[in-house]
Chains A and B, each alone.
Chain A
Amino acid sequence: MPLRAKVASSVSRTAAALSRAAGRGDGSVIGGWIGLKIDPDLLAHLSAGRAIALVSGTNGKTTTTRLTAAAVGVLGRVATNSFGANMPTGHTSALAKAGSTPYAVLEVDEHYLAQVLEATEPHVVALLNLSRDQLDRAKEVAMMAQLWRAALVRHTDVRVVANADDPMVVWAATPPADPARGINPPHVTWFSAGQRWHDDSWVCPECGSTIQRNGDQWWCTGCALRRPDPQWVVEDEGVLDPTGAWHKVSLQLPGKVNVGNAATALAVAAEFGVRPVDAVSRLGIVTSVAGRYAQVDKDGRNIRLLLAKNPASWLEAFDMADDAPTLLSINARDPDGLDTSWLFDVDFAPLRGRQVLITGDRAYDLAVRLDVNDVPFQHVRTFEDAIRSVPPGRLEVIANYTAFQDIRAELDRVN
């Protein structure tokens, strides 16, 4: 590593430690920010010599990154940004902090994938899904898919692990070959992890025709785009690998969506030569991810925290939650997106019959939504009030980003 990079890396670690000591967060952003000021190429320098996997998509990337790091850990030490700091500053900080490691697994915000591909020259990139998320500032779905595709054309030597169930991802992962310019499509391994949310992929990104679905299958009615045959498939409580062997997946994380994330993690690890039979048991040691799925006992209530940031992840959260009293908390601060319109893209009917409490800055938006949805609810001002309003036993908490952080702070629990 050049001297400048060494200095930058060291200062970055110090800044992160200072930030933590001052109680100003976990330091995973500030450290990287300072390091990149000293050496703009620091991320590339820190990446050199490591075998790197990038994990990107709208949903599930933090959890999948954590599971992938656990799986790749079979081979040796793995650097990872497991606090969800998923932009280049977070990557820089994570790699600087980890020191020299043979492997790194990095969660990447979908908007930064092109930039991070460029800087880190990864061995493999995992593309999970693309759906609507914070539309007041995020790129619209088709535009995001286009950016991914353009980035992959420039890195056709990277191995891609991609979701066969998401038409937007399939299209992004299969840029056309251009042999005249020496461009060949990247090598793609497909996984199928199931997908509940379909409302962002009715229109073909290639030709604009309607996409038809039948069971797991989907195909464009106007061009050749269709679901590729997946090599890794979720089946029952386990994963079928490309050889046809089935591996039982026993996770401490709830929901079918996390079995899908586990399948993705095994597929990514396999690109490094990890056999699924060696990695699958390591996935069970992951208990919570940046506070998500954490369980906290307080006043006789067993409180479980589920993060749901956009329509697709709300559907998954309802699948994970037990039939128990449920607190929903909604904010619309900058990190959440300022627009609450998406509440009407979520069908809250699965909550009928449960005791439902609502809170958060934007509880009234949620109240109107639940009213229209015929889901009875009670509005509470504080998290304390919510706990007092439910009987002892399980309380499921489903919250969007800053609402989730507020409740975590209130429970005084840092993962």
Chain B
Amino acid sequence: MSTESLRIVWIYPDLLSTYGDRGNALILARRARQRGMPVEVMEVRSDQRLPATADIYLVGGGEDGPQALGAQRLIADGGLHRAVAQGSVVFGVCAGYQLLGMSFFAKGVQCRGLELLDLQSDRGPSRAVGELAGEIDPRLGLPALTGFENHGGRTHLGPEVSPLARVSAGVGNDGSTEGAWRGKLLGTYSHGPALARNPALADLLLRWATGAHQLPPLDDTWSDRLRSERRAAVAAARA
């Protein structure tokens, strides 16, 4: 960790916060504090400089205009690239996931991404709206992904990234794979407060940030119940 406390930066809540994206910052902060770690959460607006020394950066969802503007400002700022070079953790959701890649489409125009992940996004034939589920890359050692997706993009992964999950319900990247990761960078189409349904994924980000191999377990009664309820709902919809 960079300093005494774990520093979490929520990038551009004025642009990239459409679906309860604040939840991911709240969940990470709470799970860290429950393990006795002091936490500092910074909300950095798009007219402010991005600190390059935080431990975890969160990039949320947004409409086309704000997504394009957010990417432009992040490229001009350069802070996120410096942070990644120093080993910081980045978690991108939906539009925030797309803009970490090489390029994406917004308002019908191809936009340059941050080029932090080897992937490209374009427009799909239809909007993907609904439950999203899949088995996560076994190397990450996590239980199944569950979430809700709402996007018009399709994402094509290059050789330098691995899919986060194999889709069992919903669309994700292309109906077959969902999300992507490389090093300590991870992105998903499971939008909004994705970590609310995936506390183990939150803990993975905390382990990456702290270097801890293990974290003390927490009482996840309610998120466990939510996960089984959603799993049952997806199964019932398919039956």
Q: Are A135 and B19 in contact (CB under 8 A)?
A: yes
* CB nearest to B150 among chain A residues: A136
Binary flags per residue of B142-163, CB closer than 8 Å to A gives 1, else 0: 0000001010000000000000
In this complex, the interface size class of chain B, counting residues with CB under 8 Å from chain A, is: 20 to 34
Residue B191 CB within 8 A of the other chain: yes
Q: Are A372 and B148 in contact (CB under 8 A)?
A: no
Residue B18 CB within 8 A of the other chain: yes
Residues in chain A near residue B196, CB distance under 8 A: 344, 365, 368-369, 372
Q: Are A210 and B46 in contact (CB under 8 A)?
A: yes
Q: Per a CB cutoff under 8 Å, which of B14, B17, B63 touches A142?
A: B63
Tell me, in angstroms, the Cα distance from A202 to B15 when the chains sit together: 8
Residue A118 CB within 8 A of the other chain: no
Q: Which one of A20-28, A56-64, A292-300, A334-342 is at the B interface?
A: A334-342
Q: Per a CB cutoff under 8 Å, which of A132, A203, A338, A344 touches B23?
A: A344
Q: Are A210 and B47 in contact (CB under 8 A)?
A: yes
* CB nearest to A202 among chain B residues: B14
Tell me, in angstroms, the Cα distance from A139 to B17 when the chains sit together: 16
Residues in chain B near residue A373, CB distance under 8 A: 26
Residue B179 CB within 8 A of the other chain: no
Tell me, in angstroms, the Cα distance from A219 to B22 when the chains sit together: 25
Most buried by A among B13, B130, B191, B196: B196
Nearest-Cβ distance from residue A234 to partner chain B, whole angstroms: 27
Residues in chain B near residue A136, CB distance under 8 A: 129, 148, 150
Tell me, in angstroms, the Cα distance from A200 to B150 when the chains sit together: 18
Residue A343 CB within 8 A of the other chain: yes
Q: How many residues of A contact B (CB 8 A)?
A: 29
Residue B223 CB within 8 A of the other chain: yes
Residue B226 CB within 8 A of the other chain: yes
Residue A367 CB within 8 A of the other chain: yes
Q: Are B226 and A345 in contact (CB under 8 A)?
A: no
Tell me, in angstroms, the Cα distance from A136 to B127 when the chains sit together: 10
Tell me, in angstroms, the Cα distance from A208 to B47 when the chains sit together: 11
Residue B112 CB within 8 A of the other chain: no
Q: Per a CB cutoff under 8 Å, which of A137, A203, A339 touches B14?
A: A203
Task: State whether A339 and B19 are in contact (beta carbons under 8 Å apart), knowing that A142-B63, A210-B45, A367-B226 are contacts in the complex.
Answer: yes
Residues in chain B near residue A345, CB distance under 8 A: 20, 22
Tell me, in angstroms, the Cα distance from A203 to B64 when the chains sit together: 13
Q: Are A341 and B222 in contact (CB under 8 A)?
A: no
* CB nearest to A369 among chain B residues: B196
Binary flags per residue of A182-214, CB closer than 8 Å to B gives 1, else 0: 000000000000000001001100001010000
Residue A216 CB within 8 A of the other chain: no
Q: Are B130 and A338 in contact (CB under 8 A)?
A: yes
Q: Can you list 28 A-B pairs, Cβ within 8 angstroms, ordered by A?
A: A135-B19, A136-B148, A137-B129, A142-B63, A142-B65, A203-B14, A203-B15, A221-B47, A338-B130, A338-B148, A339-B19, A339-B150, A340-B148, A341-B23, A341-B191, A343-B193, A344-B23, A344-B192, A364-B222, A365-B196, A365-B226, A367-B222, A367-B225, A367-B226, A368-B196, A368-B223, A369-B23, A373-B26
The 3 closest A-B pairs by CB, nearest first: A341-B192, A344-B20, A344-B23
